[in-house]
Amino acid sequence: MFSMPAAAKPLNARVDAAFERVPGHLDTATAGLPPRATIAAMRAALEEWAAGRLDVAVCDADVARCRAAFATLTGVPPDSVAIGAQVSVFASVVAGSLPAGARVLCAEGDFTSVLWPFVVQADRGVTVRSVPLEEIPAAIDATTDLVAVSSVMSADGRVADLDALAAAAAHHGARVFLDVTHGCGWQELAGSRFDHVVAAAYKWLLSPRGVALWSVRPDALEELVPQAAGWYAGEQPWESCYGAPLRLAAGARQLDLSPAWLCWTGAAPALELLAEIGPAAVGAHNLALASRLRTGLGQPDPGRPSAIVVTERPDATARLAAAGVRASVRAGQVRLSCHLTTTTADVDRALEALA
> Alpha carbon of 343 to those of 72, 120, 224: distances in Å?
26, 42, 43
**pLDDT for residue 303:** 84
In the chain, alpha helices (H): 8-18, 36-50, 56-74, 87-97, 112-119, 136-139, 162-172, 218-221, 261-277, 279-297, 316-322, 344-354
The answer to whether the CB of 209 falls within 8 A of the CB of 31 is yes
Which pLDDT band, with edges at 50, 70 and 90, does 9 fall under? low
Task: Give the whole-number percent of the chain exceeding pLDDT 70.
Answer: 97
Question: How do residues 322-344 score in pLDDT, each as one tens digit?
Answer: 999 999 888 788 999 999 999 99
Residue of 189, 201, 185 whose CA lies nearest to 341: 185
7: pLDDT strictly greater than 80: no
316: pLDDT strictly greater than 90: no
The answer to whether the CB of 33 falls within 8 A of the CB of 204 is no
**pLDDT for residue 245:** 92
Cα 93–Cα 263–Cα 232 angle in degrees, nearest 5: 45
Question: How do residues 28-55 score in pLDDT, each as one tens digit?
Answer: 999 999 999 999 999 999 999 999 999 9
CATH assignment of 8-35+278-354, among 3.90.1150.10, 3.30.465.10, 1.10.8.60, 3.90.25.10: 3.90.1150.10
Q: Which sequence spans correspond to the domains of the chain?
A: 8-35+278-354, 56-276
Average pLDDT on 193-204 reads 98
Could you please report the per-residue DSSP string of 180-213?
-TTTTTTS---GGGSSEEEEESSSTT---TT-EE
6: pLDDT strictly greater than 80: no
1: pLDDT strictly greater than 60: no
233: pLDDT strictly greater than 80: yes
**pLDDT for residue 331:** 76
Residue of 117, 73, 85, 56 whose CA lies nearest to 255: 85
pTM: 0.93
**pLDDT for residue 4:** 45
The answer to whether the CB of 197 falls within 8 A of the CB of 72 is no
Average pLDDT on 193-213 reads 97
- Domain 56-276 = CATH 3.40.190.10: no
Which pLDDT band, with edges at 50, 70 and 90, does 288 fall under? very high
Whether 8-35+278-354 shares its CATH topology with 56-276 is answered no
